[in-house]
Chains A and B, each alone.
Chain A
């Protein structure tokens, strides 16, 4: 194995993963579980059918406090923070003046003068620097709180019932993309009805020194070790679950070279909310139309598309795969790709160049997978 120049960062659950027999990998400088002995396919399916437990403590948390917290974040991000109520969260992007993406993130509103930005692990420092560099005359106090939280995601149709056994907070009352401050197994926690799997579920934020307690108690409550119980899941399953749900992954579908409209993220681009970084370019792109667009595709021939593979249209290399993988629940080989907008139509036949060989594929609607929503959500 390669020796890293700097030691890998560890989440507070590192020892717990090793005890469960996880295979650990370097993920953007973090020593993270890629899969446990059950394997990626089982972890993925268990999350779809019952419940999966994920350590996402590597995610960054940036706190914004002060009377101008909302106008400040609204100026740096594309979604409209003024629309959030206390106890509500939304998906948004930190944008560049070109309308491309510094990072995608969740913004939690605790109070009018208190927001929490939850950002990607590998971009936490970049975001922190960016946000600080773009301070204006607003009255805000910024704090990088990344080391103060563990984050555990409980995802799947059984997530609510499992987590409910450990908390007095009435979970069914928390609407999708809302959160409450409460306690899980007596541990003070932020309980958020969010996730990155396409399933119903919760993300629990708590003090890192209580991470193992929470992790073990949730596994126990969920019947870990039984065939229909909760299962600990690694980053590989997290990736296939989000891909089936066609959710963007920073560094793949979105980065500082792709705009929100190209990435089908126009829904978090609120041009009428007032000025924000990149607004002008995004408005221009919306008016003129994009040149390339992110689409979903299904491989129809034998072969698996992978990140970075060229997309051929009528034999010409005109696009690239941003994420490609077998989809364990759908039992298809799927992917997301950028293609010229004139070819970005459902049903369009394309080829993916797999190690020099063109493999047939077809553009299909996204998300590839959509759960059936119950009325309470």
Chain B
């Protein structure tokens, strides 16, 4: 069973966001990394880029395929996890910790309320894997 921490918010595209004040930290879920398989490449935006909720902010590539990364909320990128350039496999090993992808300054805190909580995301992943 995929790990789904209680303190995060989740998007239908399988990204998570941890909100601290007006800063959000974004990554992909355990379910997502498990579905993708061995991650070999992560492509991130630039600091200062403006992201739209639901917009593509980068790519995560497994051996098999390239997959879009979607921003769960809107905001400006303030920090990137550069260690993923050399160690993309962190996404498989620690998707909620070492493999955070970027931090952004939230544009509209209200967008977070539209995301799923852990229980809702668990139901959601169960439904789509049936």
Contacts and interface: CB of A to CB of B under 8 A. Distances in A.
Asked if chains A and B come from one complex, the reply is: yes
Given A40-B63, A240-B63, A326-B63, A304 B38 contact: no
Contact of B63 (A1, A302, A328, A355): A328
Interface residues of A, number: 19
Nearest to B129: A1
Interface string A289-327: 000000000000011101000000000000000000110
Contacts of B37: 23, 35, 39-40, 236
Nearest to A1: B128
A23 to B, nearest CB: 7
A325 B41 CA distance: 11
Contacts of B85: 302
Contact of A41 (B35, B59, B63, B129): B63
A34 interface: yes
Interface in A131-163: none
Contacts, number: 40
B23 interface: no
Contacts of B62: 40
Interface residues of B, number: 15
B38 A41 contact: yes
A240 B65 CA distance: 12
B37 to A, nearest CB: 5
Contacts of A328: 63
A356 B62 CA distance: 19
A279 to B, nearest CB: 38
Contacts of B59: 355
A105 to B, nearest CB: 25
Contact of A236 (B40, B41, B63, B66): B63
Contacts of A303: 41
B39 to A, nearest CB: 10
A41 B85 CA distance: 18
Nearest to A355: B59
Contacts of A326: 40-41, 61, 63
Contact of A40 (B38, B41, B61, B129): B38
Contacts of A306: 65-66
Contact of B41 (A1, A39, A41, A304): A304
Interface of B: 35, 37-38, 40-41, 59, 61-66, 85, 128-129
Interface of A: 1, 23, 34-35, 39-41, 44, 236, 239-240, 302-304, 306, 325-326, 328, 355
25 contacts: A1-B128, A1-B129, A23-B35, A35-B37, A39-B37, A40-B37, A40-B63, A40-B64, A41-B38, A44-B63, A236-B37, A239-B64, A240-B63, A302-B41, A302-B85, A304-B40, A304-B66, A306-B65, A325-B63, A325-B64, A326-B40, A326-B61, A326-B63, A355-B59, A355-B66
